[in-house]
Amino acid sequence: MPRSLGDIYILVNAAAFEATMWRGADLVGRWKIVVGKTRSPTPVFRADILGVTLNPWWEIPPAIAREGIAAMVRAHPAAAAAQGYVYQQGHYRQRPGPRNALGRMKLVMPNRYNVYLHDTPAKSLFEKDVRAFSHGCVRVGDALGLASALLSDRGWNRDRLEATVNTGATVTVSLATAIPVYVAYFTAEPADDGSIRYLPDVYHRDGAGGGVEQGCAL
């Protein structure tokens, strides 16, 4: 972590299953998140958020496609098409829509892990206390709320975002200035009352040897 995190930044704490947005020392927003499973943990890294994509396509990583999507597209193309899965130019993809694994929003934040913050259709998972269910990406509760916070200075409020999503068109809105996002893993952090909050070490990184970082695209 750098000494100066930036005038505006997002901090993701995978151990807390939480993302926060900060403007200096002021908390702008707090969101529940789902992170990677213990066998596909969310990595620790820094990236720059360049924009927000509404109604994104999901470019399915080969490893995830091999888990069953590829076989479905080949053997049951009609059933696959009903879920939005297609094979185009040598890649498996999923069309935008209510079943899209990325949900209604994905942040444009290039990084070597191919890990992103995005929406999800699996809303019930946010009701759980321990939320380690993804292949490595960070699923955000109220993802359009996060998008509106990022794009507030571009004139994109929640109503405009909802209206654009409802058109079904894939739209990418660039941020006025890139905003850093820090994806971290802190099992102890300051609480709002000034005490220390201790969190479960779901990835078993606190002991000798720590854990192996790996990322996926969902």
pLDDT of residue 214: 44
Distances (CA, A) of 157 to 102, 151, 161: 21, 7, 6
Can you give the pLDDT at residue 166?
96
Q: Is residue 131 part of a domain?
A: yes
Per-position DSSP letters for 134-174, written without gaps between them: ESS-EEETTHHHHHHHHTGGGT--HHHHHHHHHHT--EEEE
Q: Report yes or no on 44 lying in a domain.
A: yes
Is residue 187 domain-shared with residue 117, that is, in the same domain?
yes
Residue 65 lies in a domain: yes
171 located within any domain: no
pLDDT in tens, the chain (218 residues): 899 999 999 999 999 999 999 999 999 999 999 999 999 999 999 999 999 999 999 999 998 999 999 999 999 999 999 999 999 989 999 999 999 999 999 999 999 999 999 999 999 999 999 999 999 999 999 999 999 999 999 999 999 999 999 999 999 999 999 999 999 999 999 988 999 999 999 999 998 554 444 444 55
Domain identity same for 89 and 184: no
Q: What letter does residue 37 receive in the DSSP assignment?
A: -
Q: CA–CA separation, 193 vs 172, rounded Å? A: 39
CATH code assigned at 133: 2.40.440.10
Place of tokens 């929640």: 158
The pairing of beta strand 45-54 with beta strand 171-184: antiparallel
Question: Do 31 and 14 belong together in one domain?
Answer: yes
The model carries a pTM of: 0.90
**DSSP type of residue 217:** -
The answer as to whether 153 is a domain residue is no
Both tokens assigned to 15 = 């151990």
Residues 73 and 123 grouped into a single domain: no
The number of distinct structural domains making up the chain is: 2
Which structural domain range is residue 185 located in? 8-49+108-142+177-198
